Amino acid sequence: MSRSVTASCHCGAVRIRATLRGDHLLPSRCTCSFCRRRQAGNVSADLGSLEILSGESALRLYQFGSQTAAHYFCGTCGIYTHHKRRSDPTEIGINIGCIDGAEPWQFEPMPWNDGINHPSDASD
């Protein structure tokens, strides 16, 4: 079974919908340099299910390092809404704080994913 969720930034300019991997919210966090500073928990969804419902022109892109992950945020209010994962390019991560009806403090402690030692960042 899968579950569709909608999410939005703080000002409401950006609204997205996507289908979660699995039927429930299993948030996690990443330890990469960007995610540590951002401190947002996220849930996994299928990249192919992502719909930009509104605000596509308001979305801004940030990439760094390997340029594999694509982090999107609202250019008006600055809130990170979602990102394309470098660990699995068929997935996106959705900021749980942006998901309609979800409250980040309702979840068990979130596991940390090792983004510091990601193989895409290893030097040859």
Q: What is the CATH number of domain 4-115?
A: 2.170.150.70
Strands, E assignment, 10-79: 15-19, 29-30, 42-46, 51-54, 59-62, 70-74
Q: Where are the domains of the chain?
A: 4-115
Question: What pLDDT shows up at residue 124?
Answer: 39
Predicted confidence (pLDDT) per residue in 42-95, tens digit: 888 999 999 999 999 999 999 998 888 999 999 999 999 999 988 888 999 999
Pick the more confident residue, 123 or 116.
116
- pTM of the full predicted structure? 0.80
Strand partners, 75: none
Confidence band (pLDDT; 50, 70, 90) for 2? confident
